[in-house]
Chain A
Amino acid sequence: MASNQSNCDESSQQELNQLRKKRRKSTQTTESHLQKDGTGEAKNQPTVRWRAYTARRIYSSKLLEALLRSRRTTSPRGEKSREVRETADRVLAVAARGKTRWSRAILAKRARLLRVKKVKKPKVGCDRMLQESEKRKKLPAVERKVKVLSRLVPGCRKVSFLNLLEEASDYIAALEMQVKVMTTLSEILAVAGGGAGVGGGSSS
């Protein structure tokens, strides 16, 4: 069994290496192509950052660790079933390495929750808002959508339009990567759970 596993590991390692080489070539070509635009901009392009193979591997490994840890420690939790989502978001924010606003905001959310409980203040000037809604004062359509967008991207409520667009593009790339990793991870773990359960049952 052990020898079989080591053989399999070697072959899979070789395949991995081949895949890694292919990935490196493709990312290098994209990076060199992007470098024509501006010096130092190549690595900052959101597509390059989040589509690289290394980013996926890092994220998947960290997510796995975090899930295992959270499963062990927080079993006596109430009805709040959003821990996996929040764990995934936090690991994604960590993978961003703090260069973007939304990642810092996600990490700050949890720190703030641990310290102080959220107290929602009633909005000041509520009457004014009612009056304006009566008058139907519509902001330009673009501005309304910008507001919605700023609410969707975490931590970007009072950010200028320009920076909001940049944060949004990075956030979208990160979310795409997150979805891909979580998809494959859930599939793997589902199969692994099924396979190991059967294997454990049959061996014992």
Chain B
Amino acid sequence: MDPPLINENSFSAANPSSYSLTEIWPFPPSSSTALGLRMANLADRDGSLDESNVTEQSGGNGNGNRKGIDLSSEEDESSKTVSTTTSAHDLNDLTGKRRKISGSRNENNESRAEIEASSAANNKPAEPSSKPSEPPMQDYIHVRARRGQATDSHSLAERARRDKISERMKMLQDLVPGCNKVIGKALALDEIINYIQSLHCQVEFLSMKLEAVNSRMSMSPAIERLHPKDPFDATGMIFGPQPTRDYVQGPQSEWLHMQVGGGFKRAM
């Protein structure tokens, strides 16, 4: 945890007006000359944006060079983007600017960047913003990393995966009634499993019922004439006024009988 603190102290106070994403590190030629730079900007002084710019630059001494250039001369905050996809933050225009400027860097950083990335991956990936990592290349998709989170390609991929998983869990929780109150993957999965099992049981029960009805129908052949048309109309009228979301319990025969009776009076 120390290296970021060192660097943070070396910064001057952030300009509240110029947000987290103001400028690029203005010494491109020096960056190519094997300097390991590290800049972490504290952007959330206002508290509105709860993310900071994690900026890395690979200088190039291969293995996690911790030398930081004193940026006290820098008044404004500078930032740089790192790999992977953007989330819902609308920093696209600024990242666009960064891409242009960073694209002007020479490609010496490439090979060093890869070495950096691999070495950074070998080291603890949980260290936040302290490792010099690869400079943004054109073929990388840029993202704004959150404060205190690692910006490794691996951890970013893991984070994206976790986000997808949580999104799908939320969707499932919306489907399963009563799952909203539960917190945690294990308990929510419990609820989901129970719900699926109960739905299976209901389907079994209803299939038995349908079979009984079928056997009864085979005895009176008059019903077959009705089938092509009436069930549609009747089901239409029945399905219409039903609420879209209701926890399907056991046979809701009471109010259904009323509806079915009404439907059939009209259909016949």
Contacts and interface: CB of A to CB of B under 8 A. Distances in A.
- Whether chain B is bound by chain A comes out as yes
Contacts of B257: 187, 191
Contact of B203 (A8, A81, A178): A178
Contacts of A82: 207
A141 to B, nearest CB: 5
Interface of B: 161, 164-165, 168-169, 171-172, 174-176, 185-186, 189-190, 192-193, 195-197, 199-200, 202-204, 206-211, 213-214, 216-220, 222-224, 226-227, 229-240, 242, 244, 248, 251-253, 256-257, 260-261, 263-264, 266-268
Contact of B235 (A57, A67, A171): A57
Contacts of B199: 172, 175-176, 179
B86 to A, nearest CB: 14
B217 A61 contact: no
A184 B235 contact: yes
Contact of A169 (B175, B186, B256): B175
A19 interface: yes
Nearest to B161: A162
22 contacts: A8-B268, A12-B233, A19-B236, A20-B236, A47-B174, A56-B235, A81-B208, A82-B207, A148-B193, A149-B196, A162-B164, A162-B165, A165-B168, A172-B195, A172-B199, A176-B248, A179-B199, A189-B213, A189-B217, A193-B213, A196-B223, A197-B219
Nearest to B252: A183
Majority-rule SS of A interface residues: helix
A199 B174 CA distance: 46
Interface string A5-46: 100110111011001101100100000000000000000011
A168 B231 contact: no
Q: Indicate the size class of the contact surface on chain A.
A: 35 or more
A15 B236 contact: yes
Interface string A158-181: 000110011011011101101111
Contacts, number: 206
A129 interface: no
A84 B211 contact: yes
A197 to B, nearest CB: 5
Chain A CB count within 10 A is highest, among B169, B210, B220, for B210
A189 B226 CA distance: 10
A86 to B, nearest CB: 9
A202 to B, nearest CB: 11
A196 B222 CA distance: 6
B12 to A, nearest CB: 41
Closest 4 CB pairs of A and B: A19-B240, A85-B207, A165-B168, A182-B206
A187 B168 contact: no
Nearest to A52: B244
A109 interface: no
B172 A188 contact: no
A79 B264 CA distance: 35
B172 A165 contact: yes
A199 B226 CA distance: 13
Majority-rule SS of B interface residues: helix
B260 A149 contact: no
Contacts of A23: 240
A187 B260 contact: yes
A71 B218 contact: yes
Given A180-B248, A188-B263, 11 more contacts: A11-B266, A20-B236, A53-B239, A71-B217, A84-B207, A85-B203, A161-B165, A171-B196, A175-B200, A192-B230, A195-B268
Contacts of A197: 219-220, 222
A72 B145 CA distance: 64
Contacts of A56: 235, 239
Nearest to B215: A71
B168 A191 contact: no
A50 B196 CA distance: 16
A68 B227 contact: yes
A81 B211 contact: yes
A108 interface: no
A88 interface: yes
Given A56-B235, A142-B189, A183 B256 contact: yes
A35 to B, nearest CB: 16
A186 B168 CA distance: 34
A145 interface: yes
Contacts of B236: 12, 15-16, 19-20, 57
